[in-house]
Amino acid sequence: MRAGRIASAVALLAALALAGCLVGPNYKAPAVPAPPAYSDDGHYGDWASAKPADGADRGAWWAIYQDTELNDLEQRCAMANQNIAAALHAYEQAHDLVRVSRASLYPTVSIGGSATRNDLAANKPQVSSTTARDYWDFLIPLNISWEPDLWGAVRRQIESSAANAQASAAELANTRLSLQGMLAVTLFQLRGLDLQAQLLRTTLDAYSQTLQLTQARLNGGLSTQSDVAQAQAQLEETRAQLVDLGVQRAQYEHAIAMLVGEPATGFHIAARPLSGNPPEVPTGVPSELLERRPDIAAAERQVAAANALIGVAKAAYYPTVTLGTEAGVESGLVSRLFNSGSAEWNAGPGANEVVYDAGRRKAQVDYAIAQREQATALYRQQVLSAFRDVEDQLSALRVLEEEAMVQQRAVDAARQSTDLSLLRYKRGLAAYLEVLTNQTIQMDDERAAAALVARRMVASAQLQMALGGGWSTAQLPSN
């Protein structure tokens, strides 16, 4: 009869726990300002949702450049980069904490065992001359305890842990996006140096021919030793610039080696001058940034995690109810340990309510609310930063495209001027200084044009990163 009443009470508390209330505010994503359109997209017209390449995996944004070497390096970066590996293990830890929180919903069961030898004092109260004072005590206890989640503290903690795990998954995606974007940018910069090196080699050939021409005119009495020295100095200075590019190129190679998880020693990327214009990168509407930027998703999930902790703090205002059962077998002889007469048990609920804590619980609730407000402010700031990043790269692409066209006109004019001055020099109508000046201007203009090719490709990759690289919140793990 007594056991039946205990079972009924346990069943009632279990039902209450399952249908118990959830104290604390339910989560609602904070509102953020989102402009209806990018302010710097007029040059490009209407933009559609980004589709890097047909058949490309979502998130493989670098496929838009149709570069097999870049594709291979990006895959190696994803597999071997140690910062990505560390972020992956951080997510695994966050996922394990969800399991830890969820375990609190269930009872705790423990079993033990002990064997003690006892010797009671002869003068101890309630010990008579007939009492056995020297005896063994064999005990195997079984303990079951459960704290029903009546007020939702455990469920709010699970909610917070799950949101933290989602934030960690988004941070993993952001780490991967940042490092793979850095890889693309570094490779474009390296190939930009290859383009400049190609230009300098072509220039060296032209300067060598000019030196030979000047030497021949000196031999014919039509030039001076000063002209030959100037031509020689110009040639060697250009050769020194080519050597200096090798230092920068090696540094870019070493950076790429680190990004793909390989030692810099022995790592090499074949020279391949950068060419062409960056591909058009459709951006979609600005509000898609809220879905496509993993850093924004991580910040928003941190707000959700902080919001759930308010409920955990508020649950401390309510009584704590615990159901406990202790059972086991105890005997002075091992041979009788499992007899029916050796069994013992007790069971019953317990409750506890804090009456006075000097404002501790209120302070904890206020602290949790302040944490949520801080996370909300950081989330909104992250959104504003994302819009700024996109606007920066859109402006860069537009301005650099215009600059490239202007610079190309300067290159064409400089080449024409150099050709005319060389022709005049050969005919004896111009001094060598005129040729030297025009050749220097031409080389500077051509190097500036080559640098713009790399800058435009870098801006294109950085725009891809600013747009989230094709990632979306649909890739976050579910709660």
Higher pLDDT, 379 or 2: 379
Select the more confidently predicted residue: 95 or 474.
95
The per-residue pLDDT for range 351-361, each reduced to its tens digit, is: 999 999 999 99
pLDDT at 47: 42
Token pair for 423: 């022709």
**pLDDT value at 10 more than 70:** no
Indicate whether 265 pLDDT > 80.
yes
User: With bands split at pLDDT 50, 70 and 90, how would you rate the model's confidence at 133?
Assistant: low
CA distance 174 to 203: 43
Question: Per residue in 370-418, pLDDT tens?
Answer: 999 999 999 999 999 999 999 999 999 999 999 999 999 999 999 999 9
User: In terms of pLDDT, which residue wins out, 423 or 134?
Assistant: 423
Token pair recorded at residue 441:
């201007």
Query: For the chain, where do the domains classified as CATH 2.20.200.10 start and end?
Result: 114-146+320-352
Could you give the percent of the chain with pLDDT greater than 70?
A: 88
Joined together, the tokens standing for residue 452 give 């713009």
pLDDT computed for residue 288 by the predictor: 80
Distance of CA 459 to the CA centre of its chain: 20
Say yes or no to pLDDT of 3 above 60: no
125 CB neighbour count, 10 Å cutoff: 5
Name the pLDDT band for 13 (thresholds 50, 70, 90): low
The residues that bridge with 344 in the sheet, in sequence order, are 328
Average pLDDT over residues 420-438: 90
What is the CATH code for 21-104+147-318+360-475? 1.20.1600.10
Is the pLDDT at 195 greater than 90? The verdict is: yes
196: which residues sit within 8 A by CB, 6+ positions away?
Answer: 245, 447, 450, 451
DSSP 259-304: HTT--STT---------SPPPP-----GGGHHHH-HHHHHHHHHHH
What type of residue is 14?
A
Residue 313 in tokens: 């703090």
Q: In this structure, what token pair is assigned to residue 34?
A: 């989102």
Residue with the bigger pLDDT between 328 and 237: it is 237
Tokens of 207: 């300067």
Give the per-residue pLDDT at 134: 79
CA pair distance 49, 173, nearest whole angstrom: 20
Q: For 173-177, 283-287, 310-314, 387-391, which range has the lowest pLDDT when averaged over its residues? A: 283-287
Q: Which fold has domain 114-146+320-352?
A: Outer membrane efflux proteins (OEP) (2.20.200)
Residues 296-328, buried b or exposed e (16+ Cβ, 10 A)? Answer: bbbbbbbbbbbbbbbbbbbbbebebbebbbeeb
31's CB contacts (< 8 A; 6+ apart) are none
Assign 3-state DSSP to the chain and report helix, strand, coil percentages, each to 5.
60, 10, 30
Cβ count within 10 A of residue 463: 21
Task: Give the tokens for residue 45.
Answer: 């017209």
Mean pLDDT of the chain: 87
> Helix, strand, or coil here: 12?
helix
Residue of higher predicted confidence among 36 and 331 = 331
pLDDT band at 5 (very low <50, low <70, confident <90, very high): low
Does 39 score more than 50 pLDDT?
yes
Q: pLDDT class for 258, splitting at 50, 70, 90?
A: very high
**Confidence category of residue 1, pLDDT binned at 50, 70, 90:** very low
Question: Is residue 15 predicted with pLDDT exceeding 70?
Answer: no
Question: Does 124 have pLDDT greater than 80?
Answer: no
CA–CA separation, 440 and 241 (whole Å): 13
pLDDT at residue 55, as a whole number:
43
Higher pLDDT, 17 or 174: 174
| Distance from the Cα of residue 43 to its chain's centroid | 31
The whole-number average pLDDT for the span 28-41 is: 79
Which pLDDT belongs to residue 329? Answer: 87
User: CATH 1.20.1600.10 region(s) of the chain?
Assistant: 21-104+147-318+360-475
* Angle, CA 350 vertex, CA 346 and CA 354 arms, to 5°: 155
Q: What is the pLDDT of residues 288-343, one digit of tens each?
A: 888 889 999 999 999 999 999 999 999 999 999 998 899 888 888 888 888 888 88
Interatomic CA distance for residues 280 and 289, integer angstroms? 18
356 burial class (0-12, 13-18, 19+ CB within 10 angstroms)? exposed
Q: What is the mean pLDDT of residues 86-108?
A: 94
Percent of the chain with pLDDT over 90: 65
pLDDT 10s digits, 74-85: 999 999 999 999
